[in-house]
Structure formats: C-alpha cells, structure tokens
C-alpha cells in the first residue's frame, strides 16, 4: 500500500529534505519574494529559480497550493530539480491563501502571475510564448484553469501587466479537481460549503456584498453557487486551443476521484487537444515517488515548449 499524502503541495517541503541538493551547492540561482501583484494592500509573491547553465529559454510556473492553502514555506526546490536540470526557469507562485481567500479570487491570482511573468520575460531571459504550468491537487486544478481558461489581457488596463495574456502553452499536473458539478460521478454537485471536507471549506465559502447594508453575506442561493462552481471548473472551459495537458492520478485517491481526471482528458481528446492520463495503481492522494514523476513532466514540457513550437 502506498502512503497517502492529504495535502500534497505543502507537505512536499516536509517529505523531501532540502539537504538532498548536491553537496557542492545548488545548480540554480534563486530570487525570492518577487512581487507580482497586490490585493487589498497585500503583496502577492513568487520566487524565480534560474539554472546556472544551459537555461533553455522556457519557463514552468509551479502553483504552490494544496487545499487552496499557499505558503512560501512550502517551496522546496528538490521537488522540481528535474525541471531545473533540463534548463527550465521555474517560477513558484504563492497565491492569496485560504482561509482568507476563495477559489475564484485565487484563480485571479494565478492569472495575474502568468501575466506578470510574460510581461517581464526579457528580464528573466525566457520566451513569453513558451510557458508551462504544474501543480498538485488544488495546484493541479489551478494549472488546468490556466490551461483551459487563460486568455488575453485587457488592452485598456492602466497596469501594463494586465494587458498581457495569461494563456500557457503546456500543463503537467497531479490529481486535480476538474468539475465541481460532476464530482466523482455525473450529476454530483458540490453546492454546499459542507459538501467539502472541513479543511477545504473556507476556499468555497463564497460571499457577496450586500449593497444596502454594506456587509459581506454568504452566497447561499443554489443557482448562484452553481454558476460560480461552473466558472472555476476547468472541464467547462475545454476547447480546441487549450494547452497540451498531462495528468498523473492515483486510482485509490479518496480525496479527488480519479473520475475528475478521466472526464477532462476525455473532453480534451474530443476537442482534439493533446492530452494524456497516467494512472498510478494503488496510489492515493499523493505518493513519495512524485519527485521521480517530475522527470516525465520535464519530458512533456521538453516536447511542448521547444523553441519554435
């Protein structure tokens, strides 16, 4: 039986010791706490990891998120050394975290991050048209939101970053939720906050401003909640121009059903999108050999982010 990891992305920092980096020092340069945006006075940050040699001009965004909890402390370069070793510049993005922020707000954050990276591509010596994205669990969901629903910026925006596209050119992710209105089986809707596990509920505690009282009130109307969940479900955004997507998922995952990956990959193939699902036999929501699977992710990004693609 493989060990199950409840919140894959944050726990990677604990599972993979940082001293695993070569004894003669890291093979990359790290620029920490780059501010990619601000929301209600709070800075949003990312770290930039640049290979010291043989950088290939492509970028991979790693969405640091598990259960929509995001923390700078969860960034562990050992997990993505296979990407750095292939020459990819890696941007680890920390988004506005639950319990303060909800999924729709978090989706805006990761879109902003890609726009920022694209706008500053020359500063980081990357090609703005060769950006991939990866993540696990909630990070996988957010990766697929970028792969399916990332799009053009606002040409009239005051901030030049917001004029950039948030579209990515490839996705490779682990066990992502993809459809909150067909969760585990067709027609199973996750409409109530209590439909989610206790630790995940804040991310789905949607609220709206009551203009009369000027206070935030819970969104309890089923149709309003259904529309919000529809908008943040990557499966509802699949189209022929989506990013090629590779997904790894355990068939014993008790948290995010394998059906979530099977369903979106089927939609990808129907739309003519290059997509592949790798099922890990006996694996739950995370497994200790995930770092080895990053080699396969590096292969996928090599294939789809080559110069001239």
Q: Report the pLDDT averaged over residues 111-118.
A: 98
**Has residue 113 been placed in a domain?**
yes
Q: Report the pLDDT averaged over residues 82-109.
A: 98
Q: pTM of this prediction? A: 0.93
Q: Report the pLDDT averaged over residues 153-176.
A: 98
Indicate if the pLDDT at residue 12 is higher than 90. Answer: no
**Has residue 171 been placed in a domain?**
yes
**Has residue 166 been placed in a domain?**
yes
**Has residue 124 been placed in a domain?**
yes
- 115: tokens are 């726009």
**Has residue 132 been placed in a domain?**
yes
Domain containing residue 17: CATH number: 3.40.50.1820
- 195: tokens are 């439909």
pLDDT, one tens digit per residue, over 35-94 is 999 999 999 999 999 999 999 999 999 999 999 999 999 999 999 999 999 999 999 999
B/e letters for 145-182, b = 16+ CB within 10 Å, e = fewer, are bbbbbbeebeeeeeeebbebbbbbbbbbbbbbbbbbbb
Indicate if the pLDDT at residue 21 is higher than 70. Answer: no
Confidence of residue 4 (pLDDT cuts 50, 70, 90): very low
d(CA 219, CA 192): 10
**Has residue 88 been placed in a domain?**
yes
Q: Looking at the 3D structure of the chain, how many domains does it have?
A: 1
**Has residue 37 been placed in a domain?**
yes
Confidence of residue 306 (pLDDT cuts 50, 70, 90): confident
Indicate if the pLDDT at residue 1 is higher than 80. Answer: no
**Has residue 151 been placed in a domain?**
yes
SS3 250: strand
Q: Which domain holds residue 165?
A: 8-180+238-304
Cβ atoms of 13 and 75 within 8 Å: the answer is yes
Average pLDDT of the chain, as a whole number: 93
DSSP state of 17: -
Percent of the chain with pLDDT over 70: 91
């Amino acid at each position: 039986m493989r060990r199950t990891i409840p919140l894959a992305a944050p726990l990677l920092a604990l599972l993979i010791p940082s001293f695993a980096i070569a004894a003669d020092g890291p093979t990359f340069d790290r620029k920490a706490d780059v501010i990619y945006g601000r929301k209600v006075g709070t800075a949003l940050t990312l770290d930039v990891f640049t290979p010291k040699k043989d950088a290939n001009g492509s970028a991979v965004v790693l969405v640091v998120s598990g259960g929509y909890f995001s923390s700078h402390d969860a960034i562990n370069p050992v997990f993505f050394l296979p990407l750095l070793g292939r020459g990819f510049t890696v941007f680890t993005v920390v988004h506005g975290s639950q319990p303060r922020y909800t999924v729709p707000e978090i989706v805006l954050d990761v879109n902003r991050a890609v726009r920022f990276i694209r706008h500053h591509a020359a500063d980081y010596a990357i090609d703005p048209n060769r950006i991939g994205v990866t993540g696990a669990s909630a990070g996988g969901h957010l990766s697929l939101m970028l792969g399916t629903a990332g799009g053009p910026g606002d040409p009239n925006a005051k901030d030049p970053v917001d004029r950039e596209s948030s579209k990515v050119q490839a996705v490779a992710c682990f066990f992502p939720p993809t459809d909150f209105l067909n969760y585990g089986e067709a027609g199973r809707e996750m409409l109530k906050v209590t439909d989610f596990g206790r630790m995940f509920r804040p991310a789905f505690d949607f609220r709206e401003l009551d203009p009369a009282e000027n206070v935030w009130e819970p969104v309890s109307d089923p149709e309003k909640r259904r529309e919000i969940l529809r908008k943040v479900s990557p499966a509802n955004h699949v189209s022929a121009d989506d990013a090629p997507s590779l997904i790894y998922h355990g068939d014993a995952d008790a948290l995010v059903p394998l059906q979530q990956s099977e369903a979106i990959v089927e939609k990808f193939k129907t739309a003519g999108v290059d997509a592949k699902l790798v099922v890990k036999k006996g694996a739950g929501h995370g497994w200790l050999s995930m770092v080895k699977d990053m080699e396969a992710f590096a292969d996928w990004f090599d294939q789809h982010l080559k110069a001239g693609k």
